[in-house]
Amino acid sequence: MAHNLALAAQERREADRDEVHFRARAYGPDAQPLELLIVNMSPHGLMARCEAELSEGQRLRLGLPGAGILTAEIRWALGGRIGCHFATAIDRATYYETLAAMLRR
């Protein structure tokens, strides 16, 4: 059932995702640092791999180059992967700056 929910969430995306493989630092709901491997993203959210056990509804704060510190809500968590929605979408110009910076690293 969890797999079906994750697939349904992916189908409801607001925008296509861009493939990236970027290591980012985030802070979980308990303010403890987390290491994320962002796999794909859009101006509205991202999918990442994370070894910490996280749950739907939890909030993260993460830093992205060019975009600064963002708050994101976990929409689904499954098998070491999380799908997140940004509290505030990244504007288009900043998003492309962020993508370029991520792909350079």
DSSP result, 49-64: E-SS---TT-EEEEEE
Nearest to 33 by CA among 62, 54, 59: 62
Contact 21, 39 (CB under 8 A): yes
Nearest to 66 by CA among 37, 96, 43, 44: 96
pLDDT, tens digit (0-9, with 9 covering 90-100), for 62-96:
999 999 999 999 999 999 999 999 999 999 999 99
**Global confidence as pTM:** 0.83
Nearest to 64 by CA among 91, 24, 20: 24
Please state the domain extents for the chain: 2-104
Question: Residue 33 pairs with which residues in a beta bridge?
Answer: 27
Q: Is the pLDDT of residue 3 over 80?
A: no
Q: How many residues would you count in the chain?
A: 105
Options 3.30.700.30, 2.40.10.220, 3.30.43.10, 1.10.3720.10; CATH for 2-104 is 2.40.10.220
